[in-house]
Amino acid sequence: MIDLTRPTSLPRDAEREGGDTAQATRMSSPERSPKRCTFSGFFVSLFVLGDGAKTAFWGCGPPFGAARGTPDDMPPKRKRAEDEALEAAAQAARDVALHYSNRDQQSNAQRQLSPIYHLRCLNNWVKSSLIGSYVKERDAVLDFACGKGGDLTKYRKAKVGSYVGVDIALESVRRDATERYNVGSFQFPARFIAGDCFEVDLIKEGALAQKSFDVISCQFAVHYSWSTEQRARCAFRNVARLLRPGGHFIGTTVDSNVLVRKLRDAKGLSFGNDVVNVTFHEKHKSKLFPKEEGPFGLRYAFTLKDAVTNCDEWMVPKKAFVELASEFGLELARWRNFHDFVSDELGATNAEDKRSKARDLWRQTTGGKTPELTPMSEDEWEAARLYAVFAFRMSGSAEAAAKAVLQRPPPGQPTRVDKDDVLVLNGAA
C-alpha cells in the first residue's frame, strides 16, 4: 500500500530535522538511477537512494518514470483504456475550467461578505509571501493556471520585468485577466494564453522561447495535472523546458498527507466543516490506497463555500511529486503545510500563536483599508490545513543561468492587451 502519510524518503543529510527545505538527491545521479522490470502489464520500480535505502513502487500499466512506447507498440486493449482515461481527464479539466469561467468577478464589498473572506486573505498572503521569496526585480514570470489574473498585483509589487499567464478557462483569460491588466496601470508587458498547460507543448503551440523564464508559478492548480501520469509529465516537461537553470518553480497545492489522515479519521468517505467538504470515491472505501493504483488518478470531490462546488480534484502524493520533478532536473527547495508556513514566516511559537497571527493577516492583505471584521473562523483555519506550498529549483550552473538570460527575447514595453491578442490553444474551454 502507498503510505501517503510518510515523509519523502531522502538521505538523512539531504533533509534537515525540522527545517524548511529539503534538497532531493537527483534521480539522474548514478546512486539513484531507477531500475525497473515489467511483466504481464505490471511493473515494479526500485529506487536506490544515496544512503543505500531502497524504495519499491508497484503499479499497473507503463512504469512510473519510464518512457512510454509509441501507440503502435501498445496492445490495442491497453491503448483504448489509456485513450479513454486521457479523454476523461481532459474532460474533467474542461469541466473545472467552465466552472471557474462562469463565476463572476466579485467586488471588494462582495468579497468582504464572503464566509471564506479571511481564508482568501490568508491564501493571498501565502502566495504573496511565496512570490516575495523567489521572484526578483526584472524577473520574467510564467503563471500557470493564472485564472482571472488575480495575482497580477503581486507581481507588480515584485517589480517583475515581464509576465505570461496561461489558463484553460478561455473566458477567465480573455475577459477577466485582460481587463484586470488593462485597468491596472502595470509597468511590465503581459501576454495571455488560453490552453491546458498540462496537455499541450507550450513551446510549440504557445510560441514561447526555451529557458526563457526565471520563475514559473502554479497556484492552487497543479493537482489538476495528477489525474493521469501523462498530464503530470506534460506539466513538468513544460516547466523543465521553459525554466532557466537556477530558476524556481513555485506554487500551492493540496497536502495529500493531511487529506489521507482526515479521511482515515472520518466515519465514512467524507469530511469537512461549514466551509469545506471533501468526498472520496467508493473505490477508496478501504482508505488504504493500494500501490497497484499508483500515485495518479486518486480523485476526490471538493467543495469550498462561495468558491468551488463539487469539483473533481486529485491528490498529489509528496514523495511521487518530488521524484517526478527530479526526473526533469528540479530539486525540492521547500515544502510546507500552510499552518507551518504561517509559523515560519511570522515566527509563531505555538498552535494558538499561529491561529492568532493567521487571523490578523487580512489586515496586511487589504492594507488596513477595510473596517475590522470578525476574526478568522476555526473552520477557515482548518480548511487552510488542506494545502501546502512548494518550491523547486532548476538544476544548472550560474554560467548556464546567465547564458539563458542573455539569449531570451527582450520583454518589450507594456501595452494594452485586447481579447483578440489572447492566443487560444487546444484544450481551452
> Which domains does the chain show, CATH number per domain?
108-259+291-424 (3.40.50.150)
* pLDDT on residue 20: 38
Which residue ranges of the chain lie beneath pLDDT 50?
1-63, 65-69, 362, 365-372
Predicted confidence (pLDDT) per residue in 321-366, tens digit: 999 999 999 999 999 999 999 888 877 667 677 666 665 654 554 4
* pLDDT on residue 114: 84
Q: Name which of 378, 390, 389 is nearest 119 in CA terms.
A: 378
* pLDDT on residue 97: 52
* pLDDT on residue 25: 36
Q: What gap in Å lies between CA 49 and CA 31, rounded to an integer?
A: 6
* pLDDT on residue 42: 34
Q: Residue 26, exposed/middle/buried by CB under 10 A (0-12, 13-18, 19+)?
A: middle
Amino acid type, 19: G
